[in-house]
Amino acid sequence: MFYTVAKSFKIQLGINAILYGNQTGAIRPTGENSSINARQINPEQGRELGAYVNTEWELTPNITLMAGLRYSAFALLGPQTVYGYAENLPPSPETVVDSVQYGSGKVAQAYGGVEPRLALRVQVAKNTAIKASAGRTRQYLNLISNTTAITPLDFWKLSDRYLPPQIADQVSLGLFQNVQDNGFEISIEGYYKRLQNQIDYRYGANLILNPKIETALLHAAGRAYGVEFGVSKNTGRLTGQFNYTYARSLIAVQTPFNELRINGGDYYPSYIDRPHTLNMQARWSMSHNWTFSTNFVYYTGVPATYPDGQYTYNGDVVQDYSRRNADRIPDYHRLDVAFSKDTRFNKAQKRYGIWTLGIYNVYAHKNPYSIYFTRFNQRTESYRLSVFGTMIPSIAYNFYF
């Protein structure tokens, strides 16, 4: 709902509701002769309710203030089995001391809290503005990743007794400017984010179809910061964009148990940490309704954990991993091009088609999806898995009427 209290003051009110249905995993045999036993983890159900108010106040013709407040409430619903673990010991299947059953629709765990937000826009010149913002968000749906597999596995987990909602507090400040009658747009913006209740996993964790998944996970604090720079050219036969971002995302496991601390409790790169990201796009309008466009992408490879040694245990050679995410997958880069033909004779024509001939990954770079290691002939061999590691041509036709 929108209310215009005065020309310079507006209020927006709203409510929202989300019902979660999360399939947590299952395995089934493909035939009667399969050695696999059927197994399924009970699906999760939850609900999230929220209410918010947002205000926009034009303090002066050049200064606009926006302030808002949202309250969200989450409930994890049964059927659920919640396990209790022995005090002063790391949670594990061996330290279970009791369990509580929650029937269908019963609240097994509840969370809630406020999410304030504040934004300020100052028009310092005709085509120059400064924007600042601060806010808090809560997330009740957690993404759990295992990046040590050949094909990294991600799955979702609702917040429960042992996984409180993730909380992010972020501040940002940016400068935005249009030049040459809005022919160019230039922006630079920096941000800092503090994260609570992040998730990582223990050494040797079993994440697949684990009914006691909390025994494999660790709580962590996080911080993220970065600077984004962009330039856009909006007019002329040649248009395009250039965007560069320097960004870091770090986490540190928080646990009273020394044996569970990752990298000695120090901050280390999270699995989404990519310091450098570069995007360049260009579009050239040629004669006879032909258009040439190109796109170049580059970003730093994601963190990875490689073996740095080996040892023998009970006669078997075991790979040793000393520090998590101390290595990186090779950087990703790709160039795409496309030619398009617009069949219109004039801009007022309503029925027309556009033919597009494109080439994805022009120089056929084999960007790695993952790096994995295996023992072969008493040696540790590394392998690179690439997806779409070649040039891929395409042709498309779009018809408008």
pLDDT in tens, 109-168: 999 999 999 999 999 988 999 999 999 999 999 988 776 555 557 789 999 999 999 999
Cα 205 from Cα 201, distance rounded (Å): 6
Cα 117 from Cα 136, distance rounded (Å): 6
> What pLDDT does residue 31 have?
79
> What pLDDT does residue 28 have?
83
> What pLDDT does residue 84 have?
95
Poorest-confidence range of 80-89, 357-366, 384-393? 384-393
Burial profile 100-131: b = 16 or more Cβ within 10 angstroms, e = fewer: eebeeeeebbebeeebebebbbeeeeebebeb
327-328 and 303-304: which strand pairing?
Answer: antiparallel
Sign of CA dihedral 313, 314, 318, 324: negative
> What pLDDT does residue 181 have?
83
The number of beta carbons lying within 10 Å of the beta carbon of residue 61 is 8
List helix spans (H) across 121-219. none
> What pLDDT does residue 270 have?
94
Residue 367 has pLDDT above 70, yes or no: yes
> What pLDDT does residue 33 have?
79
Residue 299 has pLDDT above 90, yes or no: yes
> What pLDDT does residue 336 have?
97
pLDDT in tens, 3-28: 888 888 999 999 999 999 998 877 88
Q: Could you tell me what percent of the chain has a pLDDT over 70?
A: 98
pLDDT in tens, 167-226: 999 999 999 999 888 889 999 999 999 999 999 989 878 888 888 999 999 999 999 999
Domains of the chain, with CATH numbers?
118-400 (2.40.170.20)
Q: Is 395 exposed, middle or buried (0-12, 13-18, 19+ CB in 10 A)?
A: exposed
In the DSSP assignment, the letter for residue 301 is: P
Cα 358 from Cα 294, distance rounded (Å): 9
pLDDT in tens, 96-116: 999 999 999 999 999 999 999
Average pLDDT over residues 26-45: 82
Poorest-confidence range of 152-156, 203-207, 337-341, 381-385? 152-156
In the DSSP assignment, the letter for residue 148 is: T
**pLDDT band of 371, cuts 50, 70, 90:** confident
SS3 210: coil
Indicate the pTM of the whole model: 0.88
Poorest-confidence range of 225-239, 261-275, 312-326? 312-326
Residue type, 83: Y
Q: Is the Cβ–Cβ distance between 54 and 9 less than 8 Å?
A: no
> What pLDDT does residue 26 have?
79
**pLDDT band of 29, cuts 50, 70, 90:** confident
> What pLDDT does residue 394 have?
96
Q: What is the mean pLDDT of the chain?
A: 91
Helix then strand then coil, in percent of the chain rounded to 5, is 5, 65, 30
Q: Determine if the peptide bond prior to 93 is cis (ω within 30°).
A: no
Ramachandran class of 105: left when φ > 0, alpha when ψ lies in -120 to 50, beta otherwise = left
SS3 132: strand
Give φ, ψ of 282 to 5 degrees: -140, 150
Residue with tokens 């396990």: 83
CA distances from 88 to 216, 257, 261 (A): 17, 9, 15
Q: Is the Cβ–Cβ distance between 228 and 241 less than 8 Å?
A: no
Token pair of 210 as six digits: 């684990």
